[in-house]
């Protein structure tokens, strides 16, 4: 791991995310890219979208310039945080009408290995229709993302819960989770949440998980947890076992599809108070074909 992107809005929540990023950078000697995105106007004045009134244009330019100046000053202040001592950091102010898209685009430009960001969280109708910047980054990013929902007791992750159905896609993203666990010398617990709508008996669930263990030549602890929803099951199990981090995959649903079938990763972000590592299936899908085909006869789906 060489490059870690840390978006910030200078809130307490974003500083918590920066603390986690600093811990990871210290362990891996990675460089931190700490960025703040200034939102530029996404509208225009007058009938002609290409013709902005001169006075208005001047006011907009001056306003954005002032915001970018304040942003860079605040970024410079962050560098004085004691937990960043000795860590290579680069600060940058970006400008965009879409904050989450600019974060994702910049991540791609610098080839970030991971994005780490704090989250204000959201709930109820606000969460459904607006969501937080963190949720939107998770939705669109092909780079793995760690969302930190608040102050955590320790930035040293020792107990990681990997929540999955342990089908084909799980094989593609698990190496990312395992590599992260190795950095912290953490144990991994496999979690299959059993819900009424997709009920399977315990023996069937354990068979799939044993095949998963066999493929990765390990003996990770296997857990089947009954709950009303996958999201609440993941949250409750993580609390019951004092997990430090939840790891989960996402399909990165976009557009109208989200309103008909929500993504478990986004709902988990809204519910949990634990840091969560989200890995996009699509980015690693091409790697799953060879991995999964090798053990095709051994896996029961």
> Residue 174's closest CA among 184, 164, 187?
164
Q: In the prediction, which pLDDT does 24 show?
A: 96
Confidence of residue 125 (pLDDT cuts 50, 70, 90): very low
| H-helix segments, the chain | 12-28, 54-78, 99-110, 124-129, 133-140, 168-184, 202-215, 230-240, 257-260, 264-271, 281-294
CA distance 138 to 142: 8
CA distance 8 to 36: 5
Q: What is the DSSP letter of 35?
A: E
Indicate whether 262 pLDDT > 90. no
pLDDT digits (tens, 9 = 90+) for 36-78: 999 887 554 455 555 555 555 555 677 788 889 999 999 999 9
For 30, phi then psi, to 5°, come to: -80, 165
Please enumerate in sequence order all residues whose Cβ is within 8 A of that of 286, keeping only pairs 6 or more positions apart, or say none.
none
pLDDT digits (tens, 9 = 90+) for 129-140: 334 788 889 889
Mean of the per-residue pLDDT values of the chain: 83
Indicate whether 126 pLDDT > 50. no
170: left (phi over 0), alpha (psi -120 to 50) or beta: alpha
pLDDT digits (tens, 9 = 90+) for 181-223: 999 999 999 999 999 888 999 999 999 999 999 999 999 999 9
Distances from the Cα of 40 to the Cα of 55, 95, 140, 178, 220, angstroms: 17, 6, 20, 39, 48
What are the extents of the domains in the chain? 1-148, 156-301
Q: Domain spanning 156-301 has what CATH number?
A: 3.40.50.620
Q: Which CATH number fits domain 1-148: 3.40.50.300, 3.40.50.620, 3.40.50.960, 3.40.50.2300?
A: 3.40.50.620
CA distance 298 to 292: 10
Confidence of residue 294 (pLDDT cuts 50, 70, 90): very low
Please enumerate in sequence order all residues whose Cβ is within 8 A of that of 301, keeping only pairs 6 or more positions apart, or say none.
167, 168, 208
Q: In the prediction, which pLDDT does 286 show?
A: 43
Q: In the prediction, which pLDDT does 263 show?
A: 62
Under 8 Å between Cβ of 18 and 80: no
């Amino acid at each position: 791991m060489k490059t870690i992107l840390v978006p910030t809005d200078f809130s307490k929540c974003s500083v918590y995310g920066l603390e986690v990023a600093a811990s990871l950078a210290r362990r891996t000697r990675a460089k931190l890219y700490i960025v703040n995105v200034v939102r530029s106007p996404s509208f225009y004045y007058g009938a002609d979208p290409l013709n902005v009134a001169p006075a208005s244009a001047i006011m907009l330019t001056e306003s954005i310039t002032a915001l970018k100046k304040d942003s860079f000053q605040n970024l410079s202040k962050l560098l004085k945080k004691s937990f960043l001592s000795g860590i290579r950091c680069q600060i940058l102010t970006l400008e965009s009408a879409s904050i989450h898209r600019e974060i994702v685009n910049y991540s791609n430009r610098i080839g970030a290995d991971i994005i780490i960001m704090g989250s204000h969280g959201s709930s109820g109708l606000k969460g459904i229709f607006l969501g937080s910047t963190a949720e939107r980054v998770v939705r669109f990013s092909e780079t793995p993302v760690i969302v930190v929902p608040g102050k955590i007791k320790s930035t040293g992750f020792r107990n990681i819960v990997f929540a999955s159905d342990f089908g084909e896609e799980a094989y593609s993203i698990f190496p990312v989770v395992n590599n992260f666990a190795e950095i912290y010398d953490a144990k991994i617990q496999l979690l299959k949440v059993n819900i009424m709508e997709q009920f399977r008996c315990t023996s069937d669930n354990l068979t799939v998980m044993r095949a998963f263990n066999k493929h990765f030549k390990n003996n990770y602890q296997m857990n089947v947890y009954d709950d009303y929803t996958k999201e609440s099951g993941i949250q409750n199990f993580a609390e019951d076992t004092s997990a430090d981090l939840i790891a989960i995959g996402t399909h990165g649903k976009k557009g109208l599809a989200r309103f008909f079938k929500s993504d478990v990763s986004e709902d988990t972000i809204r519910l949990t108070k634990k840091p969560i590592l989200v890995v996009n299936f699509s980015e690693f899908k091409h790697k799953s074909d060879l991995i999964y085909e090798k053990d095709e006869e051994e896996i029961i789906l």
